[in-house]
Amino acid sequence: MLQSLASNSCVRLIQTHKSTWYFVSLVVGYLLYLIFGAVVFSSVELPYEDLLRQDLRTIKKQFLQENDCLSEERLEQFLRKALEASNYGVSILNNASANWNWDFTSALFFASTVLSTTGYGHTAPLSDGGKAFCIIYSVIGIPFTLLFLTAVVQRIMVFSTRRPITYIHTHWGLSKPLVAIVHATVLAMLAVSCFFLIPAAIFSALEENWNFLESFYFCFISLSTIGLGDYVPGEAANQKFRELYKVGITVYLILGLIVMLVVLETFCELQQLKQLRKMFYLKKEKPVDRLAILEHDQLSFTTVSNSGTTQSQDKSQMFVSVPTLASPNDDPMIQ
């Protein structure tokens, strides 16, 4: 008996706080996914890092042995200065000295990565004035970019998603959720083909040291606004039409980001995903004023109903209270 009562109370507690339990499971699942990613990245990348460190130590030791006149401290100082400059996008190599990081096209590319929050990190402001302007420019520009992208995506969604789904549903008589799923799948396949596969093939042909996987990796890292910065196009020393190439990449990033948002918004409008999201959301609470009005209306309705019931009972008693006669002799008038 006690076990059944305890189980019933537990079930009742879970049902009353269902969204909270769903949210807790979501948080736990996200943390487990983070831990899973950390374990995989560590197990895959740590051996390669160790090999690279060993190679660098070997090269450094061999260089010092071949150049006795150079001390290790002077070499460390030189390498530290070179790496610091490299972090700002400035290289001391002869084949990289011809490329400027702050000409107009490169600055336009940098501005697009800042406003889209991609941020490759291969180029950064050198001066204090440039850093201060970057802060002010980002504070104004990022919300402006969000407003711009929201307005563009909202207008594209009307012609790319809502009208086609409504047209097929009304003229062909197909189920609207089914049409929405098929449409989202086709749209995603077109986006992957036009903004991942085809650009990856183009980048692998234009960039000498990139294969198809590395080019596809760059497209995904860029359009998902991760922007690691390990692959940046147009940075080769002998890059032809570098200015035009940078402008084309800037246009590609903006258009690709818009298309990715359209695809995500299309999937978010699916009925199945809406129901899934509602599982983790808090239920909307009714405002206090609205609750007071509803309670007042319910109380008034109850009062009117009770008064109406009382009046009907009184009227029925007026007609029912006449005594019944067992025989005509019982009538006093006859007597």
Confidence (pLDDT) at 324: 47
**Closest by CA position to 183, among listed 100, 123, 266:** 266
Among 212, 259, 248, CA closest to 231: 212
Q: Is 133 left (phi over 0), alpha (psi -120 to 50) or beta?
A: alpha
Q: Which one, of 171, 238, 188, 175, lies nearest residue 209 by Cα?
A: 238
Where do the structural domains in the chain lie, given as residue ranges? 1-70, 100-280
- CATH code: domain 100-280 is 1.10.287.70
Convert the pLDDT of each residue in 83-103 to its tens digit: 887 777 677 775 555 667 788
Alpha-carbon distance 73 to 37, whole Å?
39
How far is 285 from 19, CA to CA, in rounded Å? 14
Pick from 215, 290, 295: nearest CA to 249: 215
pLDDT band at 315 (very low <50, low <70, confident <90, very high): very low
Predicted confidence (pLDDT) at residue 33 exceeds the cutoff of 70: yes
Confidence of residue 294 (pLDDT cuts 50, 70, 90): low
